Amino acid sequence: ATKWEHMELHDLPIRDDLRGRTPYGAPQIDVPVRLNTNENPYPPSKALVDDLAEEVRREAAGLNRYPDREADALRAELAGHLGHGLGAGQVWAANGSNEVLQQILQAFGGYGRTALGFEPSYSMHPIITTGTSTEWISGAREDDFSLDPAKAAAAVEEHRPDIVFLTSPNNPTGTALPLGTITRVLEAARGMVVVDEAYFEFAREGTPSALSLLPEHPRLIVTRTMSKAFAMAGTRVGYLAAHPAVIEALLLVRLPYHLSTLTQAAARVALRHRAELLGTVDDLRRERDATVSWLRARGLTVADSDANFVLFGRFPERRAVWEGLLARGVLIREVGPPEWLRVSIGTGEEMAAFRAAMEGVL
Ligand code: PMP
């Protein structure tokens, strides 16, 4: 025991605007069925693991040196993966799309500036916003979680935010946005517009990506991640596509050598195996649609989903349902508007366990 044993957070001279805040906190609980953080349930194949081990061995010999600071090779390969005629100069990568978003806020937000998002949406958008001393403005979605294009444009015109967040498909509701809505917001916005497409690969057939709007909209930023469809959450790689000038802005705030040699190598190996990794998406979509139907057949309310999770309800005591599932070895997420719960889509076996646990709880 030291004499400082009883010191607490509020005794420290932390920033006034951080006092009373709670950190991001999806519980990490060791249970048999983990359906709470929208990970891809399929682990990498032996071929990928072997390839990665080989690559790490090769890179390990040079770890006395700093990594490729601009991650040129990885960015070129990510650009090739995205298509739409993009090149390395229009792509940027960092440690998860969370870091990409933080760099955007550092460059375009900050003290005296504002960011607007339409809630319910991804909880890290306001956390990263306020963490960079940017003011958060909460816009609203409709009762069915869609975004009314006219109302969204009006909110942007009223508040004139420096940054607008559009999440498509949206977390935690699963709602994708039509391009027309994104275009309306782009036309109304004076600042940067970030379309967070973390779950884009899971969208239903024919859903267009905001990437197609980049040539006409120099202030548009589209973010993606290797954490979801790519099944590489542990690697921590997120990326974005935008005008090259936007990437020049991000270079001003990024830490030098932010993306480790091993991270860059792992991401490049994953890209080489992308047919296998993205090959899980069809199964997950099927499992998602089956989950939506199953929950609806039980009389529950379920939001349409274009993602690898489903928001369902409504439970006046959602905590009890969440706990009942946990007691049966199934961890889902207590998130989103009151009375709703979110389940990530797992393997067929995991979803069978979820259904069995739900039968028990209901
Ligand atoms: N955007 C959205 C909408 C998300 O749901 C998540 C992960 N939950 C992220 C970004 C960040 O993911 P990562 O940092 O792993 O890329």
CATH number of the domain to which 328 belongs:
3.90.1150.10
pLDDT digits (tens, 9 = 90+) for 213-259: 999 999 999 999 999 999 999 999 999 999 999 999 999 999 999 99
In a domain, 74, yes or no: yes
**What's the pLDDT band for 1 if we cut at 50, 70, 90?**
low
> Does any ligand 1 atom lie closer than 6 A to the CB of residue 175?
no
The average confidence (pLDDT) of the chain is 96
In a domain, 19, yes or no: no
> Does any ligand 1 atom lie closer than 6 A to the CB of residue 344?
no
Q: Which of 272, 295, 319 is the last residue of a domain?
A: 272
Count of domains observed in the chain: 2
In a domain, 24, yes or no: no
Interval between CA 1 and ligand 1 midpoint (Å): 39
The answer to whether residues 230 and 351 belong to one domain is: no
pLDDT digits (tens, 9 = 90+) for 247-302: 999 999 999 999 999 999 999 999 999 999 999 999 999 999 999 999 999 999 99
Q: Which residue has the higher pLDDT, 21 or 47?
A: 47
Report the pLDDT value the prediction gives residue 283, as an integer from 0 to 100.
Answer: 96
The answer to whether residues 175 and 285 belong to one domain is: no
pLDDT digits (tens, 9 = 90+) for 310-355: 999 999 999 999 999 999 999 999 999 999 999 999 999 999 999 9
CATH number for the domain harbouring residue 222: 3.40.640.10
Alpha helices (H) along 86-194: 96-108, 124-131, 149-159, 179-188
The answer to whether residues 67 and 124 belong to one domain is: yes
- The mean pLDDT value for 180-193 works out to 98
Q: Which of 222, 251, 272 is the last residue of a domain?
A: 272
Burial track 137-172 (b if 16+ CB lie within 10 A, e otherwise): bebebeeebbbebeebbebbeeeebbbbbbbbbbbb
Ligand 1 atom nearest to CA at 38: 8
The ipTM of this complex is: 0.99
pTM above 0.95, yes or no: yes
Interval between CA 151 and ligand 1 midpoint (Å): 26
Range of the domain at 135: 46-272
Ligand 1 atom nearest to CA at 98: 14
Q: How far apart are CA 247 and CA 240, in angstroms?
A: 9
Interval between CA 101 and ligand 1 midpoint (Å): 9
> Does any ligand 1 atom lie closer than 6 A to the CB of residue 170?
no
pLDDT digits (tens, 9 = 90+) for 187-201: 999 999 999 999 999
The answer to whether residues 250 and 291 belong to one domain is: no
**What's the pLDDT band for 4 if we cut at 50, 70, 90?**
confident
| Percent of the chain with pLDDT strictly greater than 90 | 93
Q: Which residue has the higher pLDDT, 255 or 22?
A: 255
Ligand 1 atom nearest to CA at 225: 16
The answer to whether residues 254 and 166 belong to one domain is: yes
Q: Which of 254, 272, 290 is the last residue of a domain?
A: 272
The answer to whether residues 336 and 220 belong to one domain is: no
In a domain, 9, yes or no: no
In a domain, 116, yes or no: yes
Q: Which residue has the higher pLDDT, 6 or 171?
A: 171
Nearest Cα residue to atom 6 of ligand 1 = 198
